Chain A
Amino acid sequence: MRISRAPNSVKPMIHTENLSKKFKDLQAVDRLSLDVREGEVFGFLGPNGAGKTTTVRMLTSLIGPTSGTAVVNGFTVGKQDTDIRRSVGILTETPGMYDNLSAEYNLRIYAELYEVKDVAGQVEKYLRMLGLWERRFDEAGAFSKGMKQKLAIARALLHEPRLLFLDEPTSALDPESAHLVRDFIAELRTEGRTIFLCTHNLDEADRLCDRIGVFKSRLLVVDTPSNLRASVFGRKVVFHLRQTGEALASAVRALPFVREVKAIDNKLLVNVDDPETRNPDIIRALVGAGADVQFVGELRHSLEEVYLQLVKNA
């Protein structure tokens, strides 16, 4: 297991040590040790039933851990629970709006419960920001799934939390709504908020997250998406040639830093640790062996492939 810890200079917004949760015989979360840095978007990936929601519930002080410790935004879980709930925002798996009440009233209730000073101002700000101002007097029950999700995001932001937990924010949304929500998350990131994002959408995680943790009751790995790709599959460079052959493959294979070479059609697939430094040497070797190099690119494994490989090996 490889866990990258936050450097000492960067304040962790979430710090857990051996955080565990057991329900009778089920070990839902097993010794989770993790740091999430201030201002980063942290993706929390894992299959259904992996314990992601249980983790979020512990970190938002909704349920207590069986053992271990967690400090969220400077407050200790189990000791300063009200402070934690006051300082974080959460988008739960289902929006859970009051369908019989207007969008505006839904937000007003939560603004009051979060002790927001300018209730009307904050409600208006987020209704406008999420494009719901014109529909503010409509009952939430009349909203589409996408609109309800946006309303739920607005609810999570009313008290301007620095740390935001988003549990499956785009699940069950049509592509257009999902795109809008993703854009909004990206916008929140530019505001410097820390975002803990639980998602099944690996493309979304790839695009939005600074680091990703793969979780299945225990933390399997944490790193940036590109480092995860490199650690699971290594880095592969594709050299497109006019013609290829065993002689060209051997010329590349002879280079000491090359791990593996495969010839496929008119391409050479080269596994190398540091392509930025090594590619010029490989190109020189190929040209020296008489190859016509047409273009060079990196073979990029999808995060889905990385994720499936990690979960399979768990």
Chain B
Amino acid sequence: MNKIRTIIRKEWAEVFKNRMVLFTVAFMPLILTAIPLVILAVTGGMSSGSELDTNLSELPDQFSSFCPADLNPMECMQVYLVSQFMLMFMIMPLVIPVTIAAYSIVGEKTTRSLEPLLATPITTLELLVGKSLSAVIPAIVATDIAFGVFAAGAWIIVRDKMLLTALLDARWLIAVLIVGPLMAMSAVCVSVMVSSRVNDPRVAEQVSMVVILPLMAVFFGQLAGLITVSRQFVLIIALGLIFVDAGLFYAAERLFQREAILTRWK
């Protein structure tokens, strides 16, 4: 456990000196938190009724599932719009670990610092766990802080308990607290696999970004009315991710062996 802690501290001390990593970890959550809050503020200023009321009927059928009976159509509109951003929030636990892991692993490859590290009594599992956690923890913390800021901002803007409850329902909590960390773990495992094959952190980062595609598919599917991101849907995704992560971690762990790193990583 001490060695894992040492690796995590070392990774953070090193990787956060990189401006690209710092930018990704600090600014992305700011932007992804600010946008839904601005939408809430803008739509909250619109009067209910008139043209919006009539157009609500044109929204997808699944929209009604977002709206408890006691919300007016304008509030329903706010819930719907902001719910789209739940998926955008999920970008954070994907992109932040990819960036950190890419710079952390490929960086060690290019400076050839992995060999002396592997020559210490640390086990490869401890090393992999240390590197993974150093990438996953900032992503989870950034996502949770961003969610906290969003919730506080939503409370200040909305000032309506019913609407706030609808905005921040169980889906958000499951997504942020369960799906987010699981996604971050997938992202790290993919980064480890990609990093074993490339020698440039930027290439590793770009290729690893493939993990964002399923999320984008869900996002556009929801926009197109093909998918409803309901509580059940989020739970199914969480369950599926547990299996995906187990498979990815197994594959990454197989690749992250001393002999493979020293003789096959090019």
Residues from chain B with Cβ under 8 Å of A97 in the complex: 111, 113
Residues from chain A with Cβ under 8 Å of B14 in the complex: 98, 100-101
B116 touching A90, Cβ below 8 Å: yes
Residues from chain B with Cβ under 8 Å of A23 in the complex: 263
A110 touching B112, Cβ below 8 Å: no
Counting chain B residues whose Cβ lies within 8 A of the other chain, the interface size class is 20 to 34
Q: Chain A interface: which of B2-10, B31-39, B62-70, B138-146?
A: B2-10
Interface of B (DSSP majority class): helix
Q: Is A109 an interface residue (CB 8 A)?
A: yes
Q: Which of A62, A99, A101 contacts B119 (CB 8 A)?
A: A62
State how many angstroms separate the Cβ of A208 from the closest Cβ of chain B.
22
Residues from chain B with Cβ under 8 Å of A155 in the complex: 116
Q: Is B45 an interface residue (CB 8 A)?
A: no
A92 touching B120, Cβ below 8 Å: no
Q: Is B210 an interface residue (CB 8 A)?
A: no
Q: Is B115 an interface residue (CB 8 A)?
A: yes
Q: Give chain B interface residues in 118-139, CB to chain A under 8 Å.
A: 118-123
B111 touching A60, Cβ below 8 Å: no
Q: Is B41 an interface residue (CB 8 A)?
A: no
Q: How far is the CA of A86 from the CA of B68 in the complex (A)?
A: 62
B263 touching A85, Cβ below 8 Å: no
Q: Is B13 an interface residue (CB 8 A)?
A: yes
Q: Which of B10, B121, B259 contacts A82 (CB 8 A)?
A: B121
B121 touching A62, Cβ below 8 Å: no
Q: Chain B interface: which of A112-120, A193-201, A212-220, A241-249?
A: A112-120
Q: How far is the CA of A57 from the CA of B259 in the complex (A)?
A: 9
Q: Which of A63, A99, A101, A113 contacts B120 (CB 8 A)?
A: A113
Q: Is B231 an interface residue (CB 8 A)?
A: no
* Residue with the highest number of chain A CB atoms closer than 10 Å, among B17, B18, B111: B111
Q: Is A96 an interface residue (CB 8 A)?
A: yes
B116 touching A92, Cβ below 8 Å: yes
The count of residues in chain A whose C-beta lies closer than 8 Å to any C-beta of chain B is 27
Q: Is B242 an interface residue (CB 8 A)?
A: no
A96 touching B116, Cβ below 8 Å: yes
Q: Is B170 an interface residue (CB 8 A)?
A: no
Q: Is A185 an interface residue (CB 8 A)?
A: no
Q: Which of B13, B121, B262 contacts A115 (CB 8 A)?
A: B121
Q: How far is the CA of A23 from the CA of B259 in the complex (A)?
A: 11
Q: Is A105 an interface residue (CB 8 A)?
A: yes
State how many angstroms separate the Cβ of B5 from the closest Cβ of chain A.
8
Residue in B closest to A156 when the chains form the complex, CB atoms: B116
Residues from chain B with Cβ under 8 Å of A94 in the complex: 112, 115
A114 touching B262, Cβ below 8 Å: no
Q: How far is the CA of A94 from the CA of B6 in the complex (A)?
A: 23
State how many angstroms separate the Cβ of B103 from the closest Cβ of chain A.
11
Residue in B closest to A90 when the chains form the complex, CB atoms: B119
**Known A63-B259, A63-B262, A101-B14; contact A109-B6, beta-carbon cutoff 8 A:** yes
A113 touching B6, Cβ below 8 Å: yes
Q: Is A64 an interface residue (CB 8 A)?
A: yes
Q: How far is the CA of A216 from the CA of B118 in the complex (A)?
A: 26
Residue in A closest to B6 when the chains form the complex, CB atoms: A112
Residues from chain B with Cβ under 8 Å of A110 in the complex: 116, 120
B116 touching A63, Cβ below 8 Å: no
Residues from chain A with Cβ under 8 Å of B112 in the complex: 92, 94, 96
Q: Is A71 an interface residue (CB 8 A)?
A: no
B114 touching A96, Cβ below 8 Å: yes
A100 touching B120, Cβ below 8 Å: no
A96 touching B120, Cβ below 8 Å: no
Residue in B closest to A23 when the chains form the complex, CB atoms: B263
Q: Give chain A interface residues in 42-73, CB to chain B under 8 Å.
A: 57, 60, 62-64
B119 touching A60, Cβ below 8 Å: yes
Interface residues of chain A, those whose CB is within 8 Å of chain B, are: 23, 57, 60, 62-64, 82, 85-86, 90, 92, 94, 96-101, 105, 109-110, 112-115, 152, 155
